[in-house]
Copies of this chain bind each other. A is one copy, B any other.
């Protein structure tokens, strides 16, 4: 039994769902762990992680518009000193969550056919986002 960890870094430029499945899979392959458990943690409070459909760009657009409605910018928040996009970003981050746990088998994440891993950026300005990755197994 052994483990490996890293921090994956992604550049974002405004609200979007950025698919990171490939980057995660590439790192996982490099660790040589065949069977085990993969964990991802987005190290921010205004970006998050999400598993959703990987085939349709329309799904991602609908998802972003839905997040806009669920945590709107005009929410009259007490916390507004970092801009109108900041508090909604914290709420959207809490709504979708910042961590994922994914079983690994045969060297591959046991995702379904249509599942992709997405880094959700909720702020307007460009950011450098860190995702801590950990795998334990054999």
**Which residues does A use to contact B, with CB under 8 Å?**
1-3, 5, 7, 35-37, 39, 41, 43-45, 50-53, 56, 58-59, 61-63, 66, 70-71, 75, 77-79, 87, 90-91, 93-105, 110-112, 114-115, 130, 132-134, 136-138
Contact = CB atoms under 8 A, between A and B. Distances in A.
Contacts of A59: 79, 87, 90
A91 B61 CA distance: 12
Contact of A134 (B37, B53, B75, B115): B37
Closest 3 CB pairs of A and B: A43-B112, A103-B134, A58-B79
A110 B132 contact: yes
Interface of A is mostly: mixed
Nearest to A4: B35
Contact of A101 (B39, B70, B112): B39
A24 to B, nearest CB: 13
Contacts of A138: 3
A124 B60 CA distance: 22
Given A1-B2, A41-B101, 16 more contacts: A3-B138, A5-B105, A36-B136, A43-B115, A51-B94, A52-B90, A59-B90, A61-B78, A62-B79, A63-B91, A66-B75, A66-B91, A97-B97, A100-B101, A101-B101, A110-B132
